[in-house]
Chain A
């Protein structure tokens, strides 16, 4: 085992609390071989990022490394002096962080940020440093003319490339990538990953790749380790993991997200046998537009976020609005729920008797009929109130349930969404529940008013992959049981395919394509839809061409 780049042996990390310490990483051991891509997968709280930060010794208080060895170059990082720690950082190991906007300093140019690393850790100065900086930019396919750009002038994908360039600056043998593409749109994510793999072939460094997305990792990793609750539950070659692995948890992760292409898997998310759309739409959106104004005195600007969008939603169907960030899908959700007013266009609920888009004050009746489930279940629940309060307030406001029956009704609603026993959950505060449980409460709140229409804005994207399916199943079941109509907003084509009957694809605030879910997946008409489908299907990496990436990024700006 001489050619291992890093060897982690029995690593333990505790978080110190006033009570017993929390074991964030518990006896984790693995080695990474020269030149391989080693994947570390786990959900939030699994300890995967803690492992990485322990290796760099950058964990903030209240963390303490309580045991184990981290051997790089025959040296144990955990027993060397503090000055040596500073020396090995970046020279031996560098890291690419999740959010490129946070990793880059907004007031320094790209050139200054790269040269800063060179100045701090190497002898390169002046012309030599500039040459090296240019070389690094060309490696990551960014034009040299962007050297003096500030981070905000670059697209998300370009920013992430710059962060990669900084990580490459000293050519360390090992580069850690901690969720490097999670904040990016699917198509850009795929491009960045392709670039990383191409660079690795060219330059031969080793990658420790951290992610929550096992299916993504299986596309390119050589070996994969799976963490859960601070322990390593499985470590094997990627092929072995792909074919199911040994641990139950591995299988759960693999099955957590269906594919956007190929034949539809049976048994996932029940749909009604036949869907007959009525003549009368429950919701009609006509020529809806929304612009945001920046009413500056010197250069007033307006940005069209939603542009002339029209669609109909029929009773009892689930319609999927699919788009990347900036496609205007969340703005449409806010317009339909009238959290914001449209610039122009009409929204009708149940025919033409309610023209909600123009009303100054939204009628209470409309508030009862249209409910919303938000993306972030922690943000959409108020941390100072119990679950009971969250469900009771709307019911009291609309006087749907007599007060003496309120308790039983709330109990019943909680059990409907799988929170059993409901009486126990009713007394809990948001912080006492897991993300999935919180989102169930949010769904119960939306359902409790027996609305005609539910707008679900990315209801699973903040949740761990293994529980996303369970949440989607609640929607599928409620639709059948309560004949609910749902507008399901997502960036993930695959989950839209499985949950929705019809899909509308959005880009830059306009509708690109619209159709029956399965038809649209099997035979997309527009190029953009094809691209989205391809990016969300297994095997995308091999089919990706490496040449065009440079031109695309220049067009981004």
Chain B
């Protein structure tokens, strides 16, 4: 009977699809996911030794080969697989844990909040980077370890933000009204408050994903990942090992580096788009600037445009 959840999602999706920034970002991300998923079927074997090491781009190998004579294009495309998987998984887990701990902490005041706030604060003051490096080098390398390490060092900030947002919603009348009508607390959190925080959750997810991709590549570049797998991080690790920069074989690191930059850029575009869709004032002001003569726009003085239609 309850089809309202659909309608807010529908409104959102329509908004995102109509937003130029967001749709550009979405298209780019889907393109990468598509390539990553189909990678093994369309490229050569990324781990096979195919040709002379460090040969420049050619018809046979569009992006040349690396120090082991492996195809760079194949490596870039299959590298996207694990990198994006770990990135988005971390993003989802960070938001879920943040929403769970931050949400409960902000909704129930008192002792529960005291305890969970303490937990959040402890994780916030832990120095993330050294902890990440230590854990990654101590645990057996692999995608699960990477995800775990990234979630562990990244969830607290999100939990903190969601907690504050939850606290402001907690004191709103619509929550009081739900309490007076006898609604369960968990239902109030999930059904009444969470949909209102959708934009925060979505941009938290995107922020966390960008962070996870960056940090993951960084760890792997330092050799703290599983160097036998093909990911964007290990691609760069090997490129550095083979002294690609010194030998001038740019095709070794540019494709991977560019991919990372483009994915982060696309995610940021989606974030902007979400902002505009959920905050109509941003659009109103942009439209206003577009529709009136530029010389009448002065900060703090209302423009006069006679016969404006």
Interface residues of A (CB under 8 A from B): 14, 16-18, 21, 53-54, 57-67, 78-79, 82, 85-86, 334, 337, 339, 364, 367-368, 370-372, 374-376, 379-386, 388-389, 392-394, 397-398, 403, 406, 429, 442, 445, 449
In the complex, the answer to whether A379 meets B181 with C-beta atoms within 8 Å is no
Extra pairs beyond A62-B288, A381-B177 (13, CB < 8 Å): A17-B287, A58-B300, A334-B176, A374-B176, A374-B177, A375-B173, A380-B173, A380-B174, A381-B174, A382-B178, A384-B4, A392-B2, A445-B181
Q: Which of A82, A393, A394 has the most CB of B within 10 A?
A: A393
Interfacial residues of chain B within 1-48, with CB under 8 A of chain A in the complex? 1-2, 4, 7-8
Task: Please indicate the chain B residues that have their CB under 8 angstroms from the CB of A61 in the complex.
Answer: 284-285, 288-289
Task: Please indicate the chain A residues that have their CB under 8 angstroms from the CB of B191 in the complex.
Answer: 393
Counting from the closest, the 5 A-B pairs by CB-CB distance are A367-B182, A62-B288, A394-B181, A380-B173, A379-B173
In the complex, the answer to whether A376 meets B196 with C-beta atoms within 8 Å is no
Would you give 22 A-B contacts (Cβ < 8 Å), ordered by A? A17-B284, A18-B287, A61-B284, A64-B304, A65-B302, A65-B304, A65-B305, A66-B305, A82-B298, A339-B179, A371-B180, A376-B173, A380-B177, A382-B196, A384-B196, A385-B195, A389-B2, A393-B178, A393-B191, A397-B184, A403-B1, A406-B1
Q: Which of B4, B191, B285, B303 has the most CB of A within 10 A?
A: B4
Of B195, B289, B302, B309, which one neighbours A53 at CB under 8 angstroms?
A: B302
Alpha-carbon distance between A16 and B305 when the two chains are bound, in angstroms: 12
Of B177, B181, B306, which one neighbours A66 at CB under 8 angstroms?
A: B306
Alpha-carbon distance between A389 and B283 when the two chains are bound, in angstroms: 29
Of B1, B8, B284, B302, which one neighbours A59 at CB under 8 angstroms?
A: B302
Q: Is B192 an interface residue (CB 8 A)?
A: yes
Task: Please indicate the chain B residues that have their CB under 8 angstroms from the CB of A372 in the complex.
Answer: 176-177, 180
In the complex, the answer to whether A368 meets B182 with C-beta atoms within 8 Å is yes
Residue of B nearest to A67 (CB): B306
Task: Please indicate the chain B residues that have their CB under 8 angstroms from the CB of A449 in the complex.
Answer: 181
In the complex, the answer to whether B183 meets A393 with C-beta atoms within 8 Å is yes
Task: Please indicate the chain B residues that have their CB under 8 angstroms from the CB of A385 in the complex.
Answer: 4, 192, 195
Alpha-carbon distance between A370 and B309 when the two chains are bound, in angstroms: 53
Q: How far is the CB of B307 from chain A (nearest CB, A)?
A: 7
Q: Is B111 an interface residue (CB 8 A)?
A: no
Q: Is B246 an interface residue (CB 8 A)?
A: no
Of B196, B308, B309, which one neighbours A383 at CB under 8 angstroms?
A: B196
Q: How far is the CB of B111 from chain A (nearest CB, A)?
A: 14
Task: Please indicate the chain B residues that have their CB under 8 angstroms from the CB of A382 in the complex.
Answer: 174, 178, 192, 195-196
B: contact size bracket = 35 or more
Interface string of B156-183 (1 = CB under 8 A from A): 0000000000000000111011111111
Task: Please indicate the chain A residues that have their CB under 8 angstroms from the CB of B298 in the complex.
Answer: 82
Alpha-carbon distance between A18 and B183 when the two chains are bound, in angstroms: 39
Task: Please indicate the chain A residues that have their CB under 8 angstroms from the CB of B181 in the complex.
Answer: 367, 371, 393-394, 397, 445, 449
Alpha-carbon distance between A393 and B182 when the two chains are bound, in angstroms: 9
Alpha-carbon distance between A445 and B285 when the two chains are bound, in angstroms: 37
Q: State the total of A-B contacts with C-beta under 8 angstroms.
A: 126
Given contacts A16-B287, A17-B284, contact A380 B176 (CB under 8 A): yes
Interface residues of B (CB under 8 A from A): 1-2, 4, 7-8, 172-174, 176-184, 191-192, 195-196, 198, 283-285, 287-289, 291-292, 298, 300-309
In the complex, the answer to whether A386 meets B4 with C-beta atoms within 8 Å is yes
Alpha-carbon distance between A406 and B186 when the two chains are bound, in angstroms: 23
Q: How far is the CB of A385 from chain B (nearest CB, A)?
A: 5
Of A14, A63, A384, which one neighbours B195 at CB under 8 angstroms?
A: A384
Alpha-carbon distance between A552 and B308 when the two chains are bound, in angstroms: 52
Given contacts A58-B302, A403-B1, contact A386 B7 (CB under 8 A): yes
Residue of B nearest to A392 (CB): B1
Of B180, B303, B305, which one neighbours A339 at CB under 8 angstroms?
A: B180
In the complex, the answer to whether B173 meets A78 with C-beta atoms within 8 Å is no
In the complex, the answer to whether B302 meets A379 with C-beta atoms within 8 Å is no
Q: Which of A65, A79, A398, A442 has the most CB of B within 10 A?
A: A65
In the complex, the answer to whether A21 meets B284 with C-beta atoms within 8 Å is no
Given contacts A372-B180, A389-B2, A397-B183, contact A18 B283 (CB under 8 A): yes
In the complex, the answer to whether A370 meets B302 with C-beta atoms within 8 Å is no
Task: Please indicate the chain B residues that have their CB under 8 angstroms from the CB of A380 in the complex.
Answer: 173-174, 176-177
Task: Please indicate the chain B residues that have their CB under 8 angstroms from the CB of A58 in the complex.
Answer: 300-302
Task: Please indicate the chain B residues that have their CB under 8 angstroms from the CB of A445 in the complex.
Answer: 177, 181
Alpha-carbon distance between A403 and B192 when the two chains are bound, in angstroms: 21
Of A66, A82, A397, A406, which one neighbours B308 at CB under 8 angstroms?
A: A66
Of B172, B182, B292, which one neighbours A364 at CB under 8 angstroms?
A: B182
In the complex, the answer to whether B195 meets A397 with C-beta atoms within 8 Å is no
In the complex, the answer to whether A63 meets B183 with C-beta atoms within 8 Å is no
Task: Please indicate the chain A residues that have their CB under 8 angstroms from the CB of B2 in the complex.
Answer: 389, 392
Alpha-carbon distance between A364 and B300 when the two chains are bound, in angstroms: 54
Alpha-carbon distance between A364 and B298 when the two chains are bound, in angstroms: 58
Alpha-carbon distance between A406 and B1 when the two chains are bound, in angstroms: 10
In the complex, the answer to whether A370 meets B291 with C-beta atoms within 8 Å is no
Task: Please indicate the chain B residues that have their CB under 8 angstroms from the CB of A79 in the complex.
Answer: 304
Alpha-carbon distance between A66 and B306 when the two chains are bound, in angstroms: 5
In the complex, the answer to whether B8 meets A384 with C-beta atoms within 8 Å is yes
Q: Which of A16, A79, A368, A379 has the most CB of B within 10 A?
A: A16
Residue of A nearest to B174 (CB): A382
Task: Please indicate the chain A residues that have their CB under 8 angstroms from the CB of B183 in the complex.
Answer: 393-394, 397
In the complex, the answer to whether A379 meets B285 with C-beta atoms within 8 Å is no
Task: Please indicate the chain B residues that have their CB under 8 angstroms from the CB of A337 in the complex.
Answer: 176, 180
Of B7, B176, B302, which one neighbours A64 at CB under 8 angstroms?
A: B302
Q: How far is the CB of B308 from chain A (nearest CB, A)?
A: 5
Residue of B nearest to A56 (CB): B302
Task: Please indicate the chain A residues that have their CB under 8 angstroms from the CB of B8 in the complex.
Answer: 384
Q: How far is the CB of B145 from chain A (nearest CB, A)?
A: 38
Task: Please indicate the chain B residues that have their CB under 8 angstroms from the CB of A17 in the complex.
Answer: 284, 287
Alpha-carbon distance between A375 and B174 when the two chains are bound, in angstroms: 11
